[in-house]
Structure 1
């Protein structure tokens, strides 16, 4: 029995004894790839009528919204692997195939040159193709076989700008009886040959990558806000590809399709990590929690190379298992923790051994690798020191995460197990979300929630620039703001003269780190250095109070703030005269960028002394 609000198609096109898993793509001619796509028949599944009534009522309404946005769809093959004749089920155990240059764009290996030295993996073992482009790997039920894209090539990119570089091996499918969202259809017997086509691709040493986390729309209005704020900016970015660090949607997995259609408009490929709001909460254990995600995006652990940079994407969300339904018809969803499984660490070790020491390694996960504020195991990864030990032979490493909807930087060395040549440090960067604090709080002039992150950072994303293997740069970008909007200066507009030396100037440098420096001066006076510390953002506190006073005027109340360390403070000089003054703030970021901001304030003997300036003197016209 398979439960779903929206009826999914279950019939795939047979290739030998192997059934392709199916997925939605556009039936229009909009496509970013030149390959031909053969469509599958639209065969609706029958409703077995046995879904829980409360769930059915809830999802009937939610699914109607999704269906309204997803009409006119067709089905195509999503996987890039090209299986040939299948082996009988009892002989599963060894996958083999060819990685080839698809020069004629046929998608078929016959008559085309194999590519030697390309890495292929089953998620644990890593094999290299021989001089004819052939590989062999052990597989078992539930494995994924995928090619690790080498430099100078690209894999297939479908019409939704999703890379298709894998074959999912689930002979009898994934169990989803009673699931709210379907899993992976039966793939049948292991194909005789699982072949991966590659296409030549120019990859300079210097390139940009868009990195974002937690789009996390819970409904179609959220998706519309996401599209309005991001796509106009994304389309202008000269990036090679984008990486989404999990929580692609907010629990409602039917939203994957309209989300993918929106992101496809950006015009570049998208890689995705798995997040705790991407799982099928009906799964009894961790093994099948990501089956819906995998059906749409592919394996949750994989890797690819671009230029001189090797990206490793890992699922560090461990699902403890379904317990019960909530009163609103949703399953309970908090039974997860940050965790890297032993097989994942083996995969990283097997891969890293083949990466030159001069190249850069970037590890991408959803849950942060480290979070000094983690108290419940849901916001950090205990196995991080083991991962760093594996990476220690490489001095150029970086890890990226999301999950917390705030910006955080950590520089780590021997104290965390990273013993790199020359004493190099490992940089862990956690990026805030384009939905900020889950699209909550007061609305802006365009009817979109301000919804800053709980650290006071505006909704945003990051652009990473890589220059060869040794050099990189991260630039935070606030949505719908100029590139120079990198900090917020906060101080009262009116300051009593007798309270000057107790009045703080507060600077939130949105992506600041322990390498950042902030200083200020008043009216072109001497520079004063501000002290870094863990603080709440005053502007966020003010906006939260506004949301609490008028929750019906926007999207409810903002959540409580979060202590973060990208805040700097200093007291005003006590000798300032009564009158208007300007404070100039200069901030130096983690990578040496310099930004400046100015704010004005007024020193008064008593606020009552200037109250008359608030009195209207203009006589209304008759």
Structure 2
């Protein structure tokens, strides 16, 4: 099907780079009027300098397959077939590109259709401050111009993110924003809703440097296949995988989605990742990997071992092996629309699989479409992650939209929970004696090493981590929706999660205090005054 996106025609030409020219007037590596195959060996050269003209040495330059570094004069030369249509620079620590797009996106790449001997040069500028790093990580906005979600982006998501940015700046950090894929939704683009990547970039007016990760719904729906499907992203957002340095940390943004196939890291990208990792001298320094597809297997209930470490087989274990010599790896991901924080058995890799910024998105499957739910299908609120390096040690917190940062627990009195719908859940059927005087707490930011305690009248209760469904999501949202729609969308079924904690109280009306301590030692407390209905 013919693409409606401007870059698609170019990229189709680029994929035929070595067989023929694209048109009589737009040749690759040849005179405009002469059709000829590109030479088998093509070299790209250029310079990397500051905005004051100072050459920068040891800067990594890449085409997505090969990479090289600049010499003392800021010059580089690299064998490159420019197969992906761009050259990019991995900005060194303390610098950023002099050019920005939409006032917040660092322009670290150049689209290269032909060089004809022209130098591909990059100009960087010193970052104005030398403050510690701050990070906002946000997954799956998936804006589709449906049920007011564009207005939600402008009036709720962006203002809340900017308030978090201001808070990080007030602490003395220099924050950046990283998206984790599915900025838009290809399904609704194909259906004519008209909300494309360029519109998202104009509407996502965050007040900090913005780096994008590609998701499966960011592909061009009018193209077939992974490489052609990348066309619009490459034209608007540049490389779908790249790296940069900032605040003493190295960032590698990868694309582990294969369009119309699933989650994987193909050999070419793994080879590039290996080359990029080889440029890192300090294996103990913070290393952030961002991707859309989930990297590690979901956590299980207490006492249950995960069946395998890596969630995807093609490329997952290989990436894990490449990261084995690094001791301080954080992986940010999205895609699941749920909150799952996990680590490898060795402990050197921690994944933060963030709940969707779009919340419970699946009402989109109903006709007529419904607005998104403010909770995800594990009961976590829609929101984003915040990383604060002000003290030198990273502190992480998950913030729900329009919620205070200390809102980290939602507690339930199971005496007051009754869900008489076995299609949705069998855990909370009326008269279930197993739930008598039980307190359940959903703690979506829990990760291995955190602690959860509960107290009844000062007496500590035995707390068990369980894997089940969130009753608030079911009773408040899903039951009413299911009554409204005669045809149920299975994507709306609640999912089991292992960030739920259960304790048996001694009576039905005693208050229970829930205390969650995160890896930074911060304590978050809530008191469940029972009896307490779901609100």
TM-score, normalised to structure 2's length?
Answer: 0.79
1:341 to 242, 266, 273: 266
1:413 aligns with 2:345: yes
1:404 to 330, 333, 336: 336
* Contact kept? 1:507, 1:569, Cα under 8 Å: yes
Aligned to 1:546: 480
2:406 to 461, 465, 484: 484
Aligned to 2:108: 165
Shift of 1:494: 5.2
* Cα-to-partner distance string for 1:533-555 (whole Å, 9 max, x where unaligned): 21111111212112212359xx9
Cα 1:122/1:188, change in 2 over 3 Å: closer
Q: Secondary structure at the match of 2:202?
A: helix
1:531 aligns with 2:464: yes
1:391 to 323, 326, 331: 323
- 2:8 & 2:416 partners in 1: Cα distance? 64
* Contact kept? 2:149, 2:371, Cα under 8 Å: no
Shift of 1:361: 1.1
1:136 to 70, 73, 77: 77
* Cα-to-partner distance string for 1:512-548 (whole Å, 9 max, x where unaligned): 12322222122x3311131112111111121211221
- 1:497 & 1:286 partners in 2: Cα distance? 52
Cα 1:316/1:137, change in 2 over 3 Å: same
- 1:191 & 1:545 partners in 2: Cα distance? 65
- 2:8 & 2:217 partners in 1: Cα distance? 24
Cα 1:258/1:100, change in 2 over 3 Å: same
* Contact kept? 1:247, 1:277, Cα under 8 Å: yes
Q: Secondary structure at the match of 1:274?
A: coil
Aligned to 2:140: 214
Aligned to 1:102: 51
- 1:8 & 1:391 partners in 2: Cα distance? 34
Could you list the runs of 5+ residues in structure 1 that have no partner in the other structure?
Answer: 12-84, 104-111, 170-186, 320-334, 415-423, 442-446, 604-622
* Contact kept? 1:367, 1:402, Cα under 8 Å: yes
Shift of 1:3: 4.3
Q: Secondary structure at the match of 2:363?
A: coil
Shift of 1:457: 0.1
Shift of 1:598: 1.1
Shift of 1:165: 1.1
Cα 1:191/1:366, change in 2 over 3 Å: farther
Q: Secondary structure at the match of 1:440?
A: helix
Task: Write out aligned runs for 1:31-430 (5 A).
Answer: 88=31, 90-91=38-39, 93-103=42-52, 112-143=53-84, 144-155=86-97, 156-169=99-112, 187-189=113-115, 191-202=117-128, 204=130, 206-219=132-145, 221-236=148-163, 237=165, 238=169, 240-251=175-186, 252=189, 254-264=195-205, 266-319=206-259, 335-355=260-280, 356-372=282-298, 380=312, 382-414=314-346, 424-430=347-353
The worse-fitting range, judged by mean Cα deviation, of 283-292 and 93-102 is: 283-292
- 2:47 & 2:284 partners in 1: Cα distance? 29
TM-score, normalised to structure 1's length?
Answer: 0.69
Instruction: Provide the alpha-carbon RMSD of the alignment.
Output: 3.3
Shift of 1:211: 0.3
* Contact kept? 2:140, 2:357, Cα under 8 Å: yes
2:505 to 569, 572, 575: 572
- 1:434 & 1:440 partners in 2: Cα distance? 15
- 1:9 & 1:350 partners in 2: Cα distance? 29
2:492 to 548, 551, 559: 559
Shift of 1:232: 1.6
The alignment covers a number of residue pairs equal to 464
Q: Secondary structure at the match of 1:235?
A: helix
* Contact kept? 2:143, 2:149, Cα under 8 Å: yes
Shift of 1:223: 1.4
Aligned to 1:28: none
- 1:136 & 1:243 partners in 2: Cα distance? 30
Task: Write out aligned runs for 1:437-476 (5 A).
Answer: 437-438=360-361, 440=363, 449-466=372-389, 471-476=393-398
* Contact kept? 1:95, 1:190, Cα under 8 Å: no
Which structure has the larger Rg? 1
Q: Secondary structure at the match of 1:217?
A: coil
Q: Secondary structure at the match of 1:480?
A: coil
* Contact kept? 2:63, 2:82, Cα under 8 Å: no
* Contact kept? 1:460, 1:479, Cα under 8 Å: yes
* Contact kept? 1:515, 1:590, Cα under 8 Å: yes
Shift of 1:8: 9.3
Q: Secondary structure at the match of 2:184?
A: coil
Shift of 1:281: 3.1
Shift of 1:592: 2.7
* Contact kept? 2:298, 2:342, Cα under 8 Å: no
Aligned to 1:502: 436
Cα 1:572/1:204, change in 2 over 3 Å: same
Cα 1:564/1:556, change in 2 over 3 Å: closer
